[in-house]
Structure 1
Amino acid sequence: MKRCTIIILMFNTFCAYSQIPHELVYFVGCFVNGTTQDTLDNKHYCLAFTALESAEEKNPPEKRDSPDTILFPSEEVQLGVKNRLICFVNYFYPPSIKVSWTKNGGPVSEGVSLSRYFPNNDGTFHQFSTLTFTPSEGDVYSCTVEHSALETPQTSIWEPDVSDHSLGPDIFCGVGLTLGLLMFTAGVFLIVKGQNQH
């Protein structure tokens, strides 16, 4: 079996104090089995290899930045009241992403929208995907982002947290009851004080 070895020698000629621009010179030689004799097929390999090297120099691999994802509701969450979940995808490059949604583990396509991408000042991009939904206790939603800079898809999970909102009526009730007791106590004090003065 013949082995083809391709040797590329690069010489960079320059002069330290010269006004002449630098020049990059390529010497390409193909050696088969240690000799300079070559067949037509091997010459094709050499030409193909040099064309590939030249293309890679002119078009270096594109840089890639993986996205950051945040998932949040657009308004204060109330059970049974229509709302929108926003999946904000930021700092990604190139500007091509795929966003998918689930509810309780099942795919969701109805009520889903995806904005166009917008440029950031650092050369990356950001984009929004929204899901119109009506929250119910126990529901779990997720937004999954796929991008060429990610080895695996990136998933953010959200579920309605109504525990803080359910304290509202209790707090108002407690404050009202406290004020009522204070007023009752003050009233009794004034009545007793008035009777003692007679």
Structure 2
Amino acid sequence: ATLEPVFLALSQFFGCRTQRIDVLFGYIVGHCQFTSSDDLVYLAQVYFNKKLMGEYNSTVGKYTGYTEKASEIADGLNKNPKMLKQEKKNYEESIINSTYDKSVEPSVSLSSFKAVDSKHPSTLICSAYKFFPKQIRVTWLRNGKEVTSDVTSTEEMPNGGWLYQIHTVLEYTPRLGETITCKVEHASLMEPLLYEWEPMPESQRNKIAVGTAGLLLGLVIFVGGLIYYKKNSSGRTLVPTG
């Protein structure tokens, strides 16, 4: 993290000291504290004569002074957008340095669904999960050529533990013999990942359709028989035999 500008500003806290002959020294510390397995707090703290004079805390997002004079200085720093922006950058860099020392490869899935109010009969979604760093490129290929129309993508979104996820949707009209591929490019990969969409074969779809129809027919027969039995049973009079 680039701490020099921040430390120079925080060193103003040293102006809070009084003229005493027993003064020892002042110093500034920038460090992180993990509050859970996937969260941390970034602190930039100013000490003088072993006493904490003030600090920047990423949880509250501002400077805090612990003496009257230090509080005045902290208020001034909090009104400086450049300083707060730098501290936020330090926090983000601390997360990266404290959590991952190398990139994390994305987990990719490819699926289809029927979109409402779409002019195309088919919709595919390619999702990349749990990757790091944030920068990633996900594109669609049709017969090896990039598709730019009828494509919608989300921004990179948090996926927990400072990992990210992204989703891209392709609306298209299937053509006989064509190949649809999702291409993923990321720093963790030696070469792009290619995921080819393999629609369910016609024979398998027919088997599922026949099986579903048979199941429904059996259910109809069962319900019809049950209704018939109930009607006949309600019209009978039971006569004691003994």
TM-score normalized by structure 2? 0.41
More helix by share: 2
The structure, 1 or 2, with the larger RCO (C-alpha pairs under 8 Å, 6+ apart) is: 1
Larger radius of gyration: 1
